């Protein structure tokens, strides 16, 4: 089978020398996975190369790393498909997690966030004792199961900008796992889970990076959005959830009264005058304050909008 020579640039790391790049050349065919590339480098060229790998079939999540800057599983990456125009591939350890050695990171923080959401079903005592049973319809089972397929690879957290900037944000994986039980009618701890998840859900910026890099198509950002649907059921009050309730009410009232959403008014009603004034100062410094006073044309079909909103003419 025809082979092609490629160059693999690995960002190595150890406590003594810090981070540094090292390059390796080898020939691969069109079926060679990056885990096989790493195995050959370690066995044939550099025994000191450190990386994780186990199943080689995207089940265990061990071989997480950045490939050409993108959080990826090495076992799901075909070497020749990942090379650039120079036939080179760049490998680095994942962002966010502390480095251990070369491509290996310490992912304890990932598991810490997972444990916070109580990632297990807490059934009613009558079910646990065998007195009753709880069943799910196939439709309900399908809905929650997609959030159960996380393989704990940590790629979504590595790609997430919010988790790096806000320590109170639990991260995409924890939210997906938490919502899986929030949305399960058999669980008895929904309110406790919402106490853990709701404030954090509004710290997500909906950038969809977790959606892009997840190898199992778990769609954590969708779980976060669906968690927000339980806001009315959530009994707690934090600064963020109070603003979220005001935000929802403001959107509904603006559409009902004007047929559209005016951003400046929405912000004012959601966060109040104090926060609005601070934002106004920033807008003034950036030369964008004038945009807050732009006039919009009136909506002509308000009667139709009010019908949709369930209001009388």
pLDDT at 94: 97
CATH topology for 4-105? Ubiquitin-like (UB roll) (3.10.20)
108-228 fold? Fumarate Reductase Iron-sulfur Protein; Chain B, domain 2 (1.10.1060)
Domain parsing of the chain, residue ranges = 4-105, 108-228, 239-308
Q: How far is CA 175 from CA 162, 168, 228, 278, in A?
A: 13, 12, 11, 31
> Along the 313 residues of the chain, how does pLDDT read in single tens digits?
789 999 999 999 999 999 999 999 999 999 999 999 999 999 999 999 999 999 999 999 999 999 999 999 999 999 999 999 899 999 999 999 999 999 999 999 999 999 999 999 888 888 777 888 888 888 888 888 889 999 999 999 999 999 999 999 999 999 999 999 999 989 999 999 999 999 999 999 999 999 999 999 999 999 999 999 999 889 888 988 988 888 888 888 888 888 888 777 888 888 887 877 887 788 788 887 766 666 777 888 888 887 877 754 4
What does the DSSP 8-state code read for residue 33? Answer: B
pLDDT at 313: 45
| Separation between Cα atoms, residue 313 and residue 311, nearest integer Å | 7
Number of residues written out for the chain: 313
Give the single-character DSSP code of 246.
Answer: H
In the prediction, which pLDDT does 273 show? 78
Dump pLDDT digits (tens) for 124-179: 888 777 888 888 888 888 888 889 999 999 999 999 999 999 999 999 999 999 99
CB contact set of 168 (below 8 Å; sequence gap of 6+) = 199, 200, 203
Nearest to residue 68, comparing CAs of 87, 47, 49, 55?
87
pLDDT given for residue 199 in this prediction: 95
How far apart CA 73 and CA 32 sit, in angstroms, is 14
What sign results for the dihedral spanned by CA atoms 299, 303, 304, 310? Answer: positive
């Amino acid at each position: 089978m025809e082979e092609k020579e490629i160059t693999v640039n690995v960002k190595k790391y150890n406590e003594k020398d810090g981070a540094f790049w090292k390059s390796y050349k080898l020939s691969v065919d069109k079926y060679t996975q990056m885990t096989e590339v790493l195995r050959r480098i370690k066995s044939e060229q550099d025994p000191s190369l450190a990386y994780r790998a186990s199943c080689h079939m995207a089940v265990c999540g061990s071989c997480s790393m950045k490939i050409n800057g993108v959080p990826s599983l090495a076992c799901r990456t075909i070497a020749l498909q990942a090379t650039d125009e120079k036939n080179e591939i760049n490998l680095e350890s994942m962002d966010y997690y502390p480095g251990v050695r070369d491509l290996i990171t310490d992912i304890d923080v990932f598991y810490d966030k997972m444990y916070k959401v109580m990632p297990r079903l807490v059934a009613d005592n009558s079910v646990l004792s065998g007195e009753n049973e709880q069943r799910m319809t196939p439709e309900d089972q399908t809905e929650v199961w997609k959030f159960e397929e996380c393989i704990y690879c940590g790629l979504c957290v590595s790609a997430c900008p919010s988790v790096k900037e806000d320590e109170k944000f639990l991260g995409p994986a924890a939210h997906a796992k938490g919502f899986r039980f929030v949305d399960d009618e058999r669980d008895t701890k929904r309110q406790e889970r919402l106490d853990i998840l709701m404030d954090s859900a509004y710290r997500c910026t909906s950038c969809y990076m977790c959606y892009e890099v997840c190898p199992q198509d778990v769609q954590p950002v969708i779980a976060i959005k669906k968690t927000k649907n339980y806001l009315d059921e959530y009994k707690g009050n934090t600064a963020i959830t109070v603003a979220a309730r005001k935000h929802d009410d403001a959107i509904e009232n603006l559409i009902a009264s004007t047929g559209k959403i005016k951003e400046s008014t929405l912000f004012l009603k959601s966060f109040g005058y104090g926060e609005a004034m601070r934002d106004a100062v920033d807008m003034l410094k950036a030369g964008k304050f004038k945009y807050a006073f732009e006039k919009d044309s009136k909506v002509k079909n308000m009667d139709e909008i009010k019908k949709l909103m369930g209001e009388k003419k």
